[in-house]
Amino acid sequence: MKKRVFSGIQPTGNIHIGNYLGAIKQWVAMQDRYDAIFCIVDMHALTSLPDPETLKAKTRELFALLLACGIDHQKSAVFVQSHVSAHAELTWVLNCLIPMGWMNRMTQFKDKSRRQKEMANVGLYDYPALMAADILLYHTDVVPVGEDQVQHLELTRDVVKRFNSIYGETFTMPEALVPEVGARIMGLDDPTRKMSKSETGAGHAINLLDPPDAIRAKLMRATTDSLTEVRFDPLRPGIFNLLVIYELFTGLSRPEIEARFEGKGYGYLKKELAEVVIEGLRPVQTRYQELTGEAGRAEALIAQGVSRVQPTAEQTLAAVKEKVGLG
């Protein structure tokens, strides 16, 4: 029996190379060896109250984009979270056994609520419980994510321990899988901050659907330092981040990369990197145009995805209801 992989991504803002290198690329690589499920988490996205039309459009765009990145809908199930109501129902049950203290420790909530006080709603606070429900409904073994989600995975593991100890063995214990390189791609405009969908600065992120000229312009403006040597040095976060992106798009080793840029300046690296990223994203962009060009195709595949996952979700939820005494 293949192990189960589950991961999710929010249809907010634009999907950027941080999402791609930190998560989606791993998903694509894992789908042969694992029984894989990928979820477009539109209910998580609702916590930032996007415009309704935009949320719907972004959900569909993201679906096509995941397939364009190489997620194969024959091998993996790809579906939209709100289409399976068991996610919301299980969240409520989990809410009732998660102590407030566990939630109060979540750094992502603390960060987000500090930055956008008026937007810090109950949904945002409860976000990790919904994420735990996503994972636990499908008896997930492995959850490939970027570094920013590790704390949420720890909470999910605590929920499993608590639930299983109160009600008996029910949920599978999931494990986070974080890539050794690329788990935290930094903003181009500020390499001390994670590249993020919610940052709107023009030079912050390279989005997967950016045209070549935009990619060149963003990389040429990327913040570095006043030194000149091109070397993998984590203490120089700007140049380190650019080199990591180069490493992940080319597959070259660090010594090979440093040798290639020996004696060449930052400007030269940025130019080369732009071409590598443009070429790396070209097949994704071409497939995306093909997929979205065929009217109704994405919609049909979305419906297929739901029908593949729904029975498992409902079975798990029924077992949980029985255990806790609902019904």
Residue 100 exposed, middle or buried by CB count within 10 Å (0-12, 13-18, 19+): exposed
Closest to ligand TYM by CB, 143 or 160? 143
Residue of this chain nearest to ligand TYM (CB atom): 22
Active site annotation includes 112: yes
Of the candidates 150, 191, 141, the one whose C-alpha atom is nearest the C-alpha of residue 18 is: 191
Q: How far apart are CA 179 and CA 74, in angstroms?
A: 25
Q: Is 243 helix (H, G, I), strand (E, B) or coil?
A: helix
Write out the binding residues for ligand TYM, residues 89-148 only, by CB under 6 A.
Answer: 131, 134-135, 143, 145-146, 148
Closest to ligand TYM by CB, 59 or 149? 149
Q: How far apart are CA 182 and CA 21, in angstroms?
A: 6
Rounded to a whole number of angstroms, the minimum distance from the CB of residue 183 to ligand TYM is 6
Residue burial 190-213, b: 16+ Cβ < 10 Å; e: rest: bbeebbbbebeeebbbbbbbbeee
Closest to ligand TYM by CB, 172 or 297? 172
Q: How far apart are CA 218 and CA 204, in angstroms?
A: 8
Closest to ligand TYM by CB, 135 or 269? 135
Q: How far apart are CA 260 and CA 268, in angstroms?
A: 11
Write out the binding residues for ligand TYM, residues 8-47 only, by CB under 6 A.
Answer: 8-10, 18-19, 22-23, 41, 44
Rounded to a whole number of angstroms, the minimum distance from the CB of residue 202 to ligand TYM is 17
Q: Which of 25, 58, 112, 270 is catalytic?
A: 112
Q: How far apart are CA 68 and CA 144, in angstroms?
A: 19
Kindly state whether residue 183 participates in binding ligand TYM, applying the rule CB under 6 A.
yes
Closest to ligand TYM by CB, 88 or 326? 88
Rounded to a whole number of angstroms, the minimum distance from the CB of residue 245 to ligand TYM is 10
Q: Which of 194, 264, 271, 321 is catalytic?
A: 194
Q: β-pairing, 142-144 with 175-177? A: parallel
Binding mask 185-214 for ligand TYM (x = CB under 6 A): x--------xx-------------------
Kindly state whether residue 245 participates in binding ligand TYM, applying the rule CB under 6 A.
no
Closest to ligand TYM by CB, 7 or 207? 7
Q: How far apart are CA 128 and CA 234, in angstroms?
A: 30
Rounded to a whole number of angstroms, the minimum distance from the CB of residue 197 to ligand TYM is 6
Rounded to a whole number of angstroms, the minimum distance from the CB of residue 28 to ligand TYM is 13
Following DSSP, what letter does each residue of 143-174 receive, concatenated? Answer: EE--GGGHHHHHHHHHHHHHHHHHH-S-S---
DSSP E strands in the chain: the ranges are: 4-9, 35-40, 77-80, 142-144, 175-177
Report the sign of the C-alpha dihedral through residues 30, 59, 307, 124, in that order. positive
Count of residues engaged in binding ligand TYM, rule: CB under 6 A: 24
**Of 73, 184, 271, 308, which lies in the binding site for ligand TYM, with binding defined by CB under 6 A?**
184
Rounded to a whole number of angstroms, the minimum distance from the CB of residue 259 to ligand TYM is 26
Active site annotation includes 271: no
Write out the binding residues for ligand TYM, residues 56-75 only, by CB under 6 A.
Answer: none
Rounded to a whole number of angstroms, the minimum distance from the CB of residue 146 to ligand TYM is 2
CB of 68 within 8 A of CB of 287?
yes
**37: which strand partners?**
6, 77
List residues near ligand TYM by CB under 6 A.
Answer: 6-10, 18-19, 22-23, 41, 44, 131, 134-135, 143, 145-146, 148-149, 183-185, 194-195
The residues annotated as belonging to the active site are 112, 194, 197
